[in-house]
């Protein structure tokens, strides 16, 4: 049965609009309730896909190794990213340095599905983040608090992740950032309209976005958590704290049995509100990654302090 | 009262729950076999079809869902949901499992990667009130349909649509509806209204 056409097809406006806010933010909506995993090889990407990851983050070194090895961390080799794109059918994300708009142009040119403008890499600009509206590909950015999240959204970020402290296997910073963002949203939602301009000033964020958050009681984009998640229980806690999904970096492939741990974290994310399920998948996972106590980390090595 | 379930393993289930409620029916999240048993219809949301298909098996939902669908439970799948409902999938992983209740062949990520994702207007058979704004995100299209499948929408067949021109993006077989795009993201509830009517007044033309 042919589709009915009320107007001749030639006269219709085929405004095939690419890269609209709805298309960029909508992509993140499709990842909700899922786990995005850091991978450094096509083989790891396949393990992540088999375990039920909703996307992979292609990079040369996981944050734990970037931490251990030091030096300047940059965008990955496009060759390596393309090999991972060829290996899996789920979306592939990649990281650009904060402010490095040419790395972002390169990642868009090779066709990655999402760019993470990430504090895990060494910042390329200490004053400006990338103008993300200038791109067709969507961006996710990190934030430690609501003001930072809204500043990134005002630059065009289509998804936010709380920063946590990447490569530590320690969930304490992720908890702090997620609680901070959610508490600030609740506080805005309870304010009178005349209080919102002062809140905008205090949070250093555009009033328009402040009003939007206050009215909706949520961010206008999807909110994930990242940085330090190492166990199914970590994953479930972040979801119960209000994350809509998770990024897991070093926590999987720096552990004893990555395939099993990856699958367990996926299941704990879906059933984050069911302790029996979280208990079930937490059994017999082997060694978790060795964690780092935040108090052992000198200030200069705190990645979450990058970006503003 | 009629309850429309929304599969909640992963994806934009919340947007579908809201859309159903705005159409005047009750909605409920479905993640367990016992929750599936309590709903009168099911929406398979947008998300990652590979992930959803794996979780359906892992959480013992695949077989109960097949049985409910075989018994005639109305269902609607958007994007990833469409992929799961169709008989055959091109460009997917060889080990994936299909629900196969619509006699159609679907191509995954047919329009390209995320940079090729787009929105545009479509005529939709059975949806009154002018074109539907359709949001396509790493979307599939339908390459072949069996004789029992009704084509409800296509990408307009014009040069500007490129390789997507004329592609089938919405189909119906009996009480099962599928769209390659995401009406749950736009606030226009006409497609959900159509599905809710299919649920409350079944036509029995399986």
**Which residue has 């919102």 as its token pair?**
A196
pLDDT, residue A6, reads 44
Query: pLDDT tens for residues B141-162?
Result: 999 999 999 999 999 988 877 8
A86 to chain B, any CB pair closer than 8 A? The answer is no
pLDDT, residue A270, reads 97
pLDDT, residue A7, reads 44
The partner residue sitting opposite A4, judged by closest CB among B79, B125, B182, is B125
Residues in B touching A6 (Cβ below 8 Å) = 123
| Confidence check: pLDDT of A2 > 50 | no
Torsion sign (Cα): B66, B72, B75, B81 = positive
d(CA A63, CA A42): 18
Q: Cα B135 from chain centroid?
A: 13
Query: pLDDT tens for residues A125-153?
Result: 999 999 999 999 999 999 999 999 999 99
pLDDT, residue A284, reads 93
- What does the block give as tokens for B114? 């995320």
- What does the block give as tokens for A157? 């970020």
Residues in A touching B125 (Cβ below 8 Å) = 1, 3-4
Give me the mean pLDDT over the A164-180 stretch.
95
Measured in angstroms, the CA of A293 and the nearest CA of chain B are apart by 32
| Confidence check: pLDDT of B98 > 90 | no
Cα dist from A295 to A119, A149, A168, B126, whole Å? 20, 25, 11, 63
A6 to chain B, any CB pair closer than 8 A? The answer is yes
A20 to chain B, any CB pair closer than 8 A? The answer is yes
| Active-site entry in B16, B23, B86, B182 | B182
pLDDT, residue A13, reads 52
Torsion sign (Cα): B100, A23, B117, B120 = positive
Q: CA-based angle A230:A232:A235, to the nearest 5? A: 75
Q: Which of residues 46-105 of B touch A (CB under 8 A)?
A: 46-48, 50-51, 54-55, 58-59, 79-80, 91-93
| Confidence check: pLDDT of A220 > 80 | yes
d(CA A235, CA A199): 31
**Closest chain A CA to residue B164:** A16
Looking at per-residue pLDDT, the higher value among A303 and B154 belongs to B154
| Confidence check: pLDDT of A5 > 60 | no
| CB neighbour class for A283 (10 Å; exposed up to 12, middle 13-18, buried from 19) | exposed
A254-258, A271-275, A290-294, B63-67: least confident range: A290-294
At A14, the pLDDT band (50, 70, 90 cuts) reads low
- What does the block give as tokens for B36? 């599936």
| Percent of chain A with pLDDT strictly greater than 70 | 95
Tell me which residue of A85, A56, A60, A92 sits closest to A74, measured CA to CA: A60
d(CA A271, CA B8): 10
pLDDT, residue B205, reads 47
pLDDT, residue B141, reads 97
Q: Which ipTM score applies to this complex?
A: 0.94
Q: What are phi and psi of A47, to 5 degrees?
A: -60, -40
pLDDT, residue A162, reads 97
Number of Cβ pairs closer than 8 Å across A and B?
Answer: 153
Is there a contact between B172 and B195 (Cβ–Cβ < 8 Å)?
no
**Closest chain A CA to residue B78:** A30
**Closest chain A CA to residue B45:** A30
Query: pLDDT tens for residues A53-96?
Result: 999 999 988 888 888 888 899 999 999 999 999 999 999 999 99
- The CB-side HSE value for B187 (13 A sphere, CA atoms) comes to 1
pLDDT, residue B204, reads 52
| Percent of chain B with pLDDT strictly greater than 70 | 97
The verdict on whether B23 is a catalytic residue reads no
Query: pLDDT tens for residues B14-54?
Result: 999 999 999 999 999 999 999 999 999 999 999 999 999 99
Which residues face A62 on adjacent strands?
none
d(CA A56, CA A149): 22
| Confidence check: pLDDT of B62 > 90 | yes
Residues in A touching B160 (Cβ below 8 Å) = 14, 16
A45-59, B81-95, B131-145: least confident range: B81-95
The partner residue sitting opposite A91, judged by closest CB among B9, B120, B138, is B138
Q: Cα A3 from chain centroid?
A: 40
């Amino acid at each position: 049965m042919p589709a009915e056409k009320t107007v001749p097809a030639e006269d219709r406006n085929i405004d095939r609009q690419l890269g609209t806010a709805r298309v960029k933010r909508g992509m993140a909506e499709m990842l909700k309730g899922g786990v995005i995993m850091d991978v450094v090889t096509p083989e790891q990407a396949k393990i992540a896909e088999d375990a039920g990851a909703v996307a992979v983050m292609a990079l040369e070194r996981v944050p734990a190794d970037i931490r251990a090895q030091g030096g300047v961390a940059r965008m990955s080799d496009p060759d390596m990213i393309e090999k991972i794109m060829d290996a899996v059918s789920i979306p592939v994300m990649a990281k650009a340095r904060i402010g490095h708009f040419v790395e972002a142009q390169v990642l868009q040119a090779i066709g990655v599905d999402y760019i993470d403008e990430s504090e895990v890499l060494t910042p390329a600009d200490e004053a400006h983040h990338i103008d993300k509206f200038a791109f067709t590909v969507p961006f996710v950015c990190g934030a430690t608090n609501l003001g930072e999240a809204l500043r990134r959204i005002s630059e065009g970020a289509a998804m936010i992740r709380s920063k946590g402290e990447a490569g530590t296997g320690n969930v304490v910073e992720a908890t702090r950032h997620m609680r901070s963002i959610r508490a600030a949203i609740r506080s805005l939602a309870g304010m009178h309209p005349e209080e919102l301009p002062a809140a905008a000033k205090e949070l250093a964020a555009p009033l328009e976005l402040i009003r939007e958050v206050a009215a909706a009681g949520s961010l206008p984009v999807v909110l994930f958590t990242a940085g330090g998640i190492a166990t199914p229980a970590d994953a479930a806690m972040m979801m119960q704290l209000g994350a809509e999904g998770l990024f897991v970096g070093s926590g999987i492939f720096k552990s004893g049995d990555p395939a099993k741990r990856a699958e367990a974290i996926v299941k704990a994310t879906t059933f984050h509100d069911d302790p029996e399920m979280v208990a079930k998948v937490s059994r017999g996972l082997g060694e978790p990654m060795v964690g780092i106590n935040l108090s052992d980390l000198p200030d200069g090595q705190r990645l979450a302090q990058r970006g503003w | 009262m009629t309850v429309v379930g929304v599969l909640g393993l992963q994806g934009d289930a919340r947007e579908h729950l809201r859309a159903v409620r705005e159409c005047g029916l009750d909605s409920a999240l479905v993640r367990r076999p016992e929750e599936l048993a309590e709903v009168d219809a099911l929406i398979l949301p947008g998300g990652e079809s590979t992930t959803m298909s794996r979780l359906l098996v892992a959480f013992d939902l695949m077989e109960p869902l097949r049985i409910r669908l075989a018994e005639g439970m109305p269902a609607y799948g958007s994007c990833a949901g469409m992929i799961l409902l169709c008989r055959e999938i091109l460009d997917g992983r060889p080990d994936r499992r299909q629900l196969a209740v619509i006699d159609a062949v679907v191509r995954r990520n047919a329009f390209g990667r995320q940079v090729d994702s787009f929105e545009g207007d479509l005529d939709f058979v059975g949806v009154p009130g002018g074109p539907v704004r359709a949001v396509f995100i790493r979307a599939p299209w339908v390459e072949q349909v069996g004789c029992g499948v009704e084509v409800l929408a296509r990408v307009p067949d014009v040069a500007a649509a490129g390789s997507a021109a004329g592609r089938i993006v919405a189909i119906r077989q009996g009480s099962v509806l599928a769209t390659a795009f995401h009406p749950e993201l736009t606030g226009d509830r006409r497609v959900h209204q159509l599905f809710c009517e299919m649920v409350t007044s079944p036509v029995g033309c399986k």
